[in-house]
Chain A
Amino acid sequence: MSETWEPVIGLEIHVQLKTETKMFCRCRNGFGGGPNTQTCPVCLAFPGALPVPNRRAIEEAIKLGLALDCTIAARAVFHRKNYFYPDNPKAYQISQYDEPLCSNGRLAVPTADGDVTIGITRAHLEEDAAKNVHVAASGRLHGATATLVDFNRCGTPLIEIVTEPDIHDADTAKRFLQLLRQTVVELDLSDAELEKGSMRFDVNVSVRPAGSGELRTRTELKNMNSFNFAAKGIEREIARQIGIYEAGGEVQQETLHFVPGEEDSPPIRSKEEAQDYRYFPEPDLVPVHPPAALVERLRAEIGELPGARIGRIADTLSFYDADVLVTGGLDRLWSALVGAGADAKEAANVLSNQFVAAGVDPGTVNAAELAKLVAARAEIPRAAFDEALSKAGDAGFAAGPYLEQKLVADAGELDPVIERVIAASPGQAEQFRSGKEGLLGFFVGQVMKETGGKADPRIVNERVRAKLSGT
C-alpha cells in the first residue's frame, strides 16, 4: 500500500505564550481568574480602544523564529482578519498575513534513519479568542440553548507555526510535534501543555501516488490533544483516503473535528466554508522593525537546541534513548549523571523508567548524589532505590543513607532462610529436582519476601539453586 501511495502532511501549530500580560493590552495573561475578570476596554473591544503590542511577545516570537532557523523580517506587519463570532469581540483578530515576523525556516527532526528536515513556512504572532461556553437551561450540555463568553483568554498572545507539507508519515509528524514542543518549553516561551490548550495543532493530510509530486485534496484534522493520538488519527486518515482512491472515489475537502476524550469514536465532519476574512493591514499599529542588535541578542540567548542534542546523545546511546531523554526533558540531568561518573546506559535506563515514574522535576536534582545511587543500583534494595528517587529533588538530598541499606549477600545469613523456604514446599522442591527449572523463580521470590527485599537477588539465585540441587 505505502509503495503506491505517499501521504503528504502539513501542520499548523498554535502555542500560547506565558507572558505576564496579553498581546495588545495590559490585562493579566494566565489561568485562574473568575470569568471576565481579566478584561479591559481593549480586549472587550469598547469603542475607541486601541491595541499596543506586547514587546516581550514580539521578542519571544523572534526567539522561536531563530530557533526554527527562520528569516526574521526587517519589517513585519499586523493584519486584521475579519469575521463575526461571539468569541471575537472586535469582529477581527489581529494576526499577521503576508509580512509575518518569521518565515522560511526549518526544523531537523532526528530519526533512527537520520535527520528529516521539515520546512517552516512561517511563524507569526496573533491574539487568541475568548472562550465560548455553551449552556442549556441548567448546566453544560450538548444541544445548548445559550452561549456564555469568558473574555479572560481573549487577546492573549499566540504564536502560529505553519510547516511546509514536508511530512510523509505519521511517526515523523509526531516526532516533529514533540521536538517543537520541547524547543518551545526550553526557550521558556510557553508551558505548551496539550491538555490545557496552551499548545494546539491542526493537521492537513492528503495522499498522492508515490513519486507524483501532485497535491491532492486535503482534509484538516482538528482537536487532537495528544501526540500519540495525532499519530493514530493521521494513520487512520491516510488509510481512509487511500481506501477512497482505490475504490475509485474522490476525497472531499472537509474538516474532521475530534472530540477530546472520545478519540476512538469517529470525528465530526464539517464542510470547509469558503470564508473571506478580508485581511488588510491593521491601521491602528505601525509596522514592527526588529533592530538587528535585538535579533542578535536573542540569538545569543538560545542554547543548544533539543534536536541537536538528540543527534549528539545518539552517538553515545541509541537514537531511541536519546529521543526519550531529550523530548522528556531529561537529557541535561543525564549528562550531569554521566559527568558525575554514572554509566551512560544505566543512567538513561534509570531516568527514562523509574525516575519518570517518581515524578520529580529533573531541574531540582543533585546529580552527584543521584549518580552514586545509580552506580550502586544493583546493591541496594529496590524499595530503597525507588524511595531515594522520589526524594532526589528534595533540598539536602543525600545518597548516603540509601547506600547503607546494602543488600544482604552473605550466604551465612541467607542460607537458613533458604533452607526454611525449601522445607516449607517439599512438593515444589521435588518437581524442580525432576527438571521443572521454572520453579527456581518461585523459591527466589519466597526468599526475597522473607528478607523484606533486602537480599541480593544474584546471591539468592545462586544459593537456592545450590540448596535445591543438594550441593
Chain B
Amino acid sequence: MIDALRLTAEEAKKLLDAREISGAELFAAYAERDDDLHAFLYRCDDPGGDGIPIALKDVIGTKGVPTTAGSKILESYLPVYDATVAANCKRHGLRLLGKTNTDEFAMGSSTENSAFGPSRNPWDPARVPGGSGGGSAAAVSGGLAPWALGSDTGGSIKQPSALCGNVGLRPTYGTVSRFGVVAFASSLDQVGPVAKNVRDCAYLYSIIAGRDANDTTTVEVPEVELPTAQDLKGMRIGVPTEMNEADGIEPGVSAAVRKAIELAESLGAEVGECSLPRSVDYGVACYYLVAPAEASSNLARYDGARYGLRSDGDDFREMVMATRHDGLGDEPKRRIMIGTYALSSGYYDAYYGKAQRVRTMIRREHAEVFEKFDLIVSPTSPTVAFAIGEKAGNPLAMYLNDLLTIPSCMAGLPGLNIPCGLSEGLPVGLQLIGPQFAENTLFRAGHALEQALGFDVVPERLR
C-alpha cells in the first residue's frame, strides 16, 4: 500500500527504482484519491512511464492541458507550448497529475479569488489553504500529490505552505524561468517547489532552476546541494525585530516561531537580533503599487481577439470591454485599476516611480543585514489558516496577510517556509530568508531544523 499522505518523492523514487511499486500504481495512488479539497482545477490521465508524479499550479502553461490561471477569461485556453518549468519536469520524467487551483491570476492569499471556487485546507476544510498557490499546497498536504510547483509574487508559495504545514521555496528572482508562466507581476513572479520535506524541495528546485534562453532575466545558479547536516554550527541567524513583533502576529504563531529559534540556537546557530524597519513599514504599500502596475499591463493582452473568452461587441473597443467585464473577477479588476492609475502620466513619479525607489531601499536594507547574518527568520504568516469567507470582503485585511513575506520578495531574495509547530491545531510556518542565491544555505538550515522539530506533515484529521 502506498501512503500518499506521507510518502516523500525521494522515498517514492527508491520504491520505483527497487521495483517495489510500479509507475502506474504510484500515479494511481494520487490520481484516484477524491479531491474533496478542490485542490485541482484539472486532473490528468496517467501519461505512462515510471517517473514521480507532480502537480502544477494552473498559472504554469502546459501544452495541450488547460491552463486557466484561475480565470474565466482563460477557461477555454489550451496552450500550444510548455512553460520551461513544465518542460524541465517532463524531461526528468515527472508525470503531470493535474493543474492546481489558484487565486485568479495568482492575485490573492486564500484561493477565494479563483473563478472556479476556493480550495480547502487539509487540516480543516472550513479554512482556506492560503494563496494564491493554495491548490498546490493543499494537494501536497492532502495526499493528492507528492510534490508540486507553485508561483510566488508576494508570498504565494510560502504562505500556503505555512497554512497547510509543508515546505515551500520561493527562489531567488532570476533562478527559475518564467517562460510560459501566466504573468502577474513580471519583476516579482518566481516559480518554486512545494514539498513534504526540505530534501524533496531542494531536489525539485534543482530540476527547475537555471538559465533559460527564453527568459533573459534568468541566470546560472550554483549547484544545488541536497542537505544532510543535522546541526547549524557556524550559521548566523538574524531575527528581525519588526518581523517578529509586528502587530497582528497571533500569540500561538509567535510562540511556535520563538521555540524554533531557540531550537536553532541549541543546534549550534549564532542567533542575534537585527532590524528591517523600512522594509516592513513600506513593503506592502510599495508592493501594492509595483505588482498592480505590472499586472495592469500584463493582463491587457486578454482582449478576446486571439484566445480565451470572447464576448460580443459592436467594434474592437466594445468587444474588449465586454470580454474583460465578463471574464475578469473583482480582484484583477481592482488591481488593474490601481496599476493603471499608478502608471498614469502625472502620477507615475508619485506612485510607480517612488515605489521603485523604495524597492531599492528595501534591497539595500536587506543587503546590510546579510553582511552580519547568513539568514534571517520570522513567521511566514502572521496567522494560521483563517476561515473561508472570513476576509473575503476585506481586501486590505487580506493584503496584510502578506506583510511578512512581501519585503524579501520585493528584494528578490529567496525564502523557505518550513512547518514549525501547531497553534490551535493548525500549522505555523517558519520563514527563512537568505541573500541572493543562498538557496543551499536555506536548505541546510531548513533540513536541520526540520529534523529537530519532528513536525508531522500529515494533517491530524487524516492520520
Contacts and interface: CB of A to CB of B under 8 A. Distances in A.
A40 to B, nearest CB: 9
A284 interface: yes
Interface string B214-236: 11110000000000000000000
B19 interface: no
Interface string A279-323: 110011110000000000000000000000000000000000000
B294 interface: yes
Given A52-B213, A86-B316, A285-B216, A47 B182 contact: yes
A44 interface: yes
Nearest to B177: A50
B193 interface: no
Interface string B321-354: 0000000000000000000100111001000100
A84 B317 contact: yes
A48 interface: yes
Contacts of B345: 276, 278
Contact of B67 (A47, A49, A50, A284): A47
- Centre residue among B67, B77, B178, B179 by max chain A CB count within 10 A: B179
A90 B300 contact: yes
Given A280-B352, A284-B216, A46 B344 contact: no
Q: Is the interface of B mostly helix, strand, loop or mixed?
A: loop
Interface in B209-268: 213-217
B423 interface: no
Nearest to A47: B182
Contact of B306 (A48, A85, A89): A89
Contacts of A283: 185-187, 217, 294
B282 to A, nearest CB: 19
Interface string B301-315: 101011100000000
A201 B97 CA distance: 54
Interface in B141-197: 178-183, 185-187
Interface stretch (B79-87, B115-123, B373-381): B79-87
A47 B343 contact: no
A45 B306 contact: yes
Contacts of B320: 84
Nearest to A91: B300
A284 B348 contact: no
B54 interface: no
Given A84-B317, A283-B187, A286-B217, A48 B300 contact: no
A258 interface: no
B4 interface: no
A269 B296 CA distance: 32
A49 B216 contact: no
B293 A280 contact: yes
B325 to A, nearest CB: 14
B183 A47 contact: yes
Given A44-B306, A49-B180, A284 B74 contact: no
B61 interface: yes
B56 interface: no
A147 B297 contact: no
A41 interface: yes
B216 A278 contact: no
Interface in A128-186: 147, 149
Interface string B278-293: 0000000000000001
Given A47-B69, A147-B316, A284 B305 contact: no
Interface string A376-415: 0000000000000000000000000000000000000000
A285 B340 CA distance: 20
B216 A92 contact: no
B225 to A, nearest CB: 28
B186 A278 contact: no
Nearest to A276: B345
A51 B215 CA distance: 7
B61 A48 contact: yes
A77 B115 CA distance: 36
B316 A52 contact: no
A91 B297 contact: yes
A82 interface: yes
B340 A278 contact: yes
B215 A50 contact: yes
Contacts of A50: 178-179, 214-216
A45 B301 contact: yes
A80 interface: yes
Nearest to A53: B216
Contacts of B180: 48-49
A272 to B, nearest CB: 15
Given A82-B297, A86-B305, A86-B316, A48 B216 contact: no
Contacts of B81: 41, 46
Nearest to A44: B306
Contact of A52 (B79, B80, B216, B305): B216
Given A48-B83, A92-B297, 12 more contacts: A41-B80, A46-B80, A50-B214, A52-B213, A52-B214, A86-B316, A147-B316, A278-B296, A278-B340, A278-B344, A280-B343, A284-B217
Which 5 residue pairs are nearest across A and B when measured between Cβ atoms? A91-B300, A283-B186, A278-B343, A283-B187, A48-B180
16 contacts: A45-B301, A46-B307, A47-B183, A48-B180, A52-B213, A84-B316, A86-B305, A91-B297, A92-B297, A276-B345, A278-B297, A278-B345, A280-B343, A284-B215, A284-B217, A285-B217
